């Protein structure tokens, strides 16, 4: 089947099932051709619109914005007068952050431990198709969402769900490797599938893709059919990028996002920084006074999601650190550039038999029970033993849930290493950021 036929089938299915997704995609492609000043004007209009909506319909924002009117927001400097939103604010005001004007059926629960090891529950808007931002990025790279894609992620569908997913995406092929347990057996199965189906894109966690690249290099295997390697969830080191380039023979592109707000920024063909999707997300880098720092200076990443009206996040601080770059990109895109985001540290847990568990996956172990712990951290020592440190949360069965996690981890590692549980009052922060996994194994 030709690529153009696959594109037409993809477009037909999305128009039939997802309504406005394709229209939104076309709008995003048009925004890529704007000049930077027109794009900034669109962003400011979107910010004012979101502010007015949130103040009118969301009890939390009605209270914190009571002394501010939309007429007070004339420029981006005025936006900095709004209070920031933290993870603690969301936890303490979860019900007040829900809009009064829409049905709860429109809310999709999102639970995340994130790279900080602080579990959090919030909501996304089912009517907002944020994945079209990913489609636009694929377009930047000369690919299409209808192209075959291989994934190295967590929560891989199995059984009838996998069959249904394959039917929905047909004729596009989507191949999956579970990052939670990358053994030689599972990687060989994945390897065989991608060599047979020859996907154009490899997408996944930095740690998972890097480990797969190391495994392929060990076996003396390289590839000649990838057009792009798309990595996310942690800063991409040059060492990792070089190895991936060597093995996959394709450009490696870094994309930044978080579970709270997907699709924040990504590299273009030039790979000279990450372009912020400023028509859909407004990102500030702020100091301790919540004011924007100058370009080139690092600050706390502060995000406003312009698409999620079911649970708006306005000036939300996700715990990362980043900076805007002073240079402009030669690619011609109007979107501003940020540097690789600092503060997230990704590692892997290693077993004596050589198998590994991607650290990206381990950040999610409390996703379904965000009230069990306030924070957690995993420490692997030189003898391969693991200690799971937990700051207990407010759930009545928090201790029992932690005990259950130990059993799940023991099953995951097939009881090859010792795993212990330690309850602590707090977890030491590294420059304001909790390292969720520490490994003493070199």
Q: Are 222 and 216 in contact (CB under 8 A)?
A: yes
Percent of the chain topping pLDDT 90: 67
- How far apart, in whole angstroms, are the C-alpha atoms of residue 412 and residue 333? 44
Out of 5-19, 137-151, 335-349, 353-367, the most confident range is 137-151
Alpha carbons 264 and 233: distance in angstroms, whole number: 11
5-29 pLDDT, tens digit per residue, is 988 998 888 888 888 899 999 999 9
In this prediction, residue 113 carries a pLDDT of 60
Q: Whole-angstrom Cα distance, residue 48 to residue 307?
A: 13
In a domain, 144, yes or no: no
Asked, for residue 411, whether it belongs to a domain, the answer is: yes
- Segment 256-285 shows an average pLDDT of 96
In a domain, 9, yes or no: no
Say how far apart CA 103 and CA 41 lie, in whole Å: 31
CA dist 66 and 60 (Å) reads: 10
Band of residue 346 on the pLDDT scale cut at 50, 70, 90: very low
Is 356 inside any structural domain?
yes
Rounded to 5 degrees, φ, ψ at 130 are -70, -20
Please list, in sequence order, all residues whose beta carbon lies within 8 angstroms of the beta carbon of residue 361, skipping any fewer than 6 positions away: 154, 179, 180, 205, 208
- Could you give phi then psi for residue 184, rounded to 5 degrees? -60, -35
Report yes or no on 410 lying in a domain. yes
In this structure, are residues 172 and 10 in contact, taking their beta carbons and an 8 Å threshold? Answer: yes
Q: From CA 341, how far away is CA 285, in angstroms rounded? A: 11
Domains contained in the chain, number: 1
Q: Is residue 434 included in any domain, yes or no? A: yes
pLDDT at position 292: 98
Is 379 within 8 Å of 438 (Cβ atoms)? Answer: yes
**Cβ atoms of residues 360 and 346 within 8 Å:** yes
pLDDT of residue 347: 57
What mean pLDDT do residues 423-442 have? Answer: 71
pLDDT digits (tens, 9 = 90+) for 38-70: 999 999 999 999 999 999 999 999 999 999 999
Whether residue 150 is contained in a domain is answered as no
369-420 confidence digits (pLDDT tens): 878 987 788 999 999 999 999 989 888 999 999 999 999 999 989 889 999 9
Shortest CA distance to 280 belongs to which of 303, 261, 317, 307? 307
**Can you list the positions of beta strands (E) in 44-114?**
107-112
User: How far is the C-alpha of 35 from the C-alpha of 97, rounded, in Å?
Assistant: 35
Would you state the pLDDT for residue 435? 67
pLDDT at 163 over 60: yes
Does the residue 391 lie in any domain? Answer: yes
Answer whether residue 205 shows pLDDT above 60. yes
Quick check: 363 pLDDT over 60?
Answer: yes
The token duo for 82 is: 């709004």
Distance CA 339, CA 326 (A): 10
Average pLDDT taken over every residue of the chain: 90
Q: What is the pLDDT of residue 358?
A: 67
Residue 311 Cα distances to 112, 118, 304, 413, 437, angstroms: 15, 19, 11, 38, 30
CA distances from 11 to 16, 33, 202 (A): 9, 22, 22
Cβ pair 416, 353 in contact under 8 A: yes
Transcribe 29-41 into DSSP letters: HHHTTS-HHHHHH
Instruction: Report residue 433 as tokens.
Output: 């950021």
The pLDDT tens digits for 130-139 are 999 999 999 9
Q: What are phi and psi of 322, to 5 degrees?
A: -155, 180
Residues spanned by the domain of 388: 348-439
* CATH code (residue 401): 3.30.300.30
- Residue 397, C-beta contacts closer than 8 angstroms, at least 6 positions apart: 372
| Residue 293 and residue 285 in contact, taking contact as beta carbons nearer than 8 Å | yes
Which residue, among 425, 409, 318, has the nearest Cα to 375 in the 3D structure? Answer: 425
Strands of 337-338's sheet in order across: 174-178, 149-153, 201-205, 228-232, 252-256, 265-267, 274-276, 337-338
CA 238/CA 342 separation, integer angstroms = 14
- Examine the pLDDT at 178 and tell me if it is beyond 50: yes
State how far the Cα of 131 lies from the Cα of 14, in Å rounded to an integer. 12
Indicate whether 167 pLDDT > 50. yes
**pLDDT higher than threshold 90 for residue 274:** yes
């Amino acid at each position: 089947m030709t690529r153009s036929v696959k594109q037409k089938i993809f477009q037909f299915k999305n128009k039939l099932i997802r309504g406005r997704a394709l229209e939104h995609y076309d709008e995003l492609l048009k925004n890529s051709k704007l000049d930077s000043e027109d794009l900034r004007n669109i962003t400011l209009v979107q910010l004012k619109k979101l502010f007015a909506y949130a103040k009118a319909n969301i009890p939390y924002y009605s209270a914190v914005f009571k002394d501010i009117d939309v007429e007070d927001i004339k420029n981006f400097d005025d936006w900095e007068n709004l209070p920031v939103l933290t993870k603690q604010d969301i936890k303490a005001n979860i019900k007040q952050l829900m809009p009064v004007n829409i049905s709860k059926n429109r809310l999709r629960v999102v639970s995340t431990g994130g790279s900080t090891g602080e579990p959090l529950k919030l909501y996304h808007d089912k009517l907002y198709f944020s994945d079209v931002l990913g489609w636009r990025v694929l377009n930047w790279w000369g690919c299409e969402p209808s192209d075959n894609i291989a994934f190295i992620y967590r929560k891989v569908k199995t059984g009838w769900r996998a069959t249904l997913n394959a039917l929905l995406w047909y004729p596009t092929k989507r191949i999956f490797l579970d990052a939670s347990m990358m053994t030689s057996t599972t990687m060989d199965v994945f390897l065989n599938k991608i060599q047979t189906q020859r996907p154009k894109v490899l997408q996944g966690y930095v740690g998972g893709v890097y480990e797969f690249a190391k495994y392929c290099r060990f076996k003396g295997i390289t590839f000649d059919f990838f057009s792009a390697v798309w990595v996310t969830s942690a800063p991409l080191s040059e060492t990792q990028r070089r190895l991936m380039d060597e093995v996959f023979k394709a450009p490696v592109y870094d994309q930044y996002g978080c579970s709270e707000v997907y699709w924040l920024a990504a590299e273009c063909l030039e790979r000279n920084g990450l372009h912020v999707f400023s028509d859909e997300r407004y990102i500030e880098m702020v100091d301790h006074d919540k004011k924007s720092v100058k370009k080139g200076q690092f600050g706390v990443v502060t995000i406003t999601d312009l698409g999620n009206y079911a649970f708006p996040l306005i000036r939300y601080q996700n715990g990362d650190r980043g900076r805007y770059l002073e240079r402009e990109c030669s690619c011609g895109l109007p979107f501003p550039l940020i540097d690789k985001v600092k503060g997230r540290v990704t590692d892997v847990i290693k077993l004596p038999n050589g198998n590994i568990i991607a650290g990206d996956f381990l950040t999610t172990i409390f996703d379904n029970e965000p009230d069990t712990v306030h924070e957690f951290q995993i420490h692997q020592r030189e003898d391969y033993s693991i200690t799971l440190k937990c700051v207990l949360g407010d759930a009545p069965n928090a201790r029992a849930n932690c005990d259950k996690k130990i059993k799940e981890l023991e099953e995951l590692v097939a009881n090859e290493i010792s795993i212990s549980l330690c309850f602590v009052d707090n977890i030491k922060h590294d420059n304001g950021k909790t390292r969720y996994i520490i490994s003493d194994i070199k």
